C-alpha cells in the first residue's frame, strides 16, 4: 500500500549540519550554504524530543562545538580566515572576550585604537590614579569628570536648579 516507509528515520543535528557545508581541502574555507544572518551562517538545532522545537545557533559556533567541545560563556569564536561563512574548525579560534579578540586580530578597530591612547581628549595622562572605568569598561579621566561636574553645578546655580544643603 505505502510506497515509502511509514516512519522516516530522522537525521541527527550533526548529520544535518554537514549537509549545508561545502567542504573543500583541509586548509581551505568550508563555505556555509544554508541560511545566513548578517553574513554569518545560522543553523537550527532540533530539540531531542522534537516537541519544543529547538533553537537557532551561529553555524561557526556549532562547528567549533562539534570539533572541540563546549564553548565557555562570554567567549568569542574568531575566524582566522576573515570569512564569515567559513565553518572549517581549523579556521576557528577561541578568544576569551570580544575586546581581547578585537585587539589581537584587528589592530585598526576602534577598540585597539582607544586602548593604545595614553592621554584623554583634553591632554591628561591615563595613569592608575587618574583613570576610572564605567559600567561598560570604558576608561574615563577623573580630572575631566571633576571639571564637568563643577561646570554642571555652576549651570544649575545659574538656571536656579541648585538646592542648598539642609542642616
What are the tens digits of pLDDT across the range 8-29?
667 888 999 999 999 988 889 9
23: left (phi over 0), alpha (psi -120 to 50) or beta: beta
Between 14 and 102, residue with greater pLDDT = 14
The per-residue pLDDT for 1 is: 47
Q: CA 36 → CA 32, 45, 78, 136, distances in Å?
A: 8, 15, 17, 29
Domains delineated in the chain: 10-109 (3.90.75), 117-167 (no CATH)
Is the entire prediction scored with pTM above 0.75? Answer: no
% of the chain at pLDDT higher than 90: 37
Cα–Cα distance for residue pair 89/67, rounded to 1 Å? 6
Amino acid at each position: 500500500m505505502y510506497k515509502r516507509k511509514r516512519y522516516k528515520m530522522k537525521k541527527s543535528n550533526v548529520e544535518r549540519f554537514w549537509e549545508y557545508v561545502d567542504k573543500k581541502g583541509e586548509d581551505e574555507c568550508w563555505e556555509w550554504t544554508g541560511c545566513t544572518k548578517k553574513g554569518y551562517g545560522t543553523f537550527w538545532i532540533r530539540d531531542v524530543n522534537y516537541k519544543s522545537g529547538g533553537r537557532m545557533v551561529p553555524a561557526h559556533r556549532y562547528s567549533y562545538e562539534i570539533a572541540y567541545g563546549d564553548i565557555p560563556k562570554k567567549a568569542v569564536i574568531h575566524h582566522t580566515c576573515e570569512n564569515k561563512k567559513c565553518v572549517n574548525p581549523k579556521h576557528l579560534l577561541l578568544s576569551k572576550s570580544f575586546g581581547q579578540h578585537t585587539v589581537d586580530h584587528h589592530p585598526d578597530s576602534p577598540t585597539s585604537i582607544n586602548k593604545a591612547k595614553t592621554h584623554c581628549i583634553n591632554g591628561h595622562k591615563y595613569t592608575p590614579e587618574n583613570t576610572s572605568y564605567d559600567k561598560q569598561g570604558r576608561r574615563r579621566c577623573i580630572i575631566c569628570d571633576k571639571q564637568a561636574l563643577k561646570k554642571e553645578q555652576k549651570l544649575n546655580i545659574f538656571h536656579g536648579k541648585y538646592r542648598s544643603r539642609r542642616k
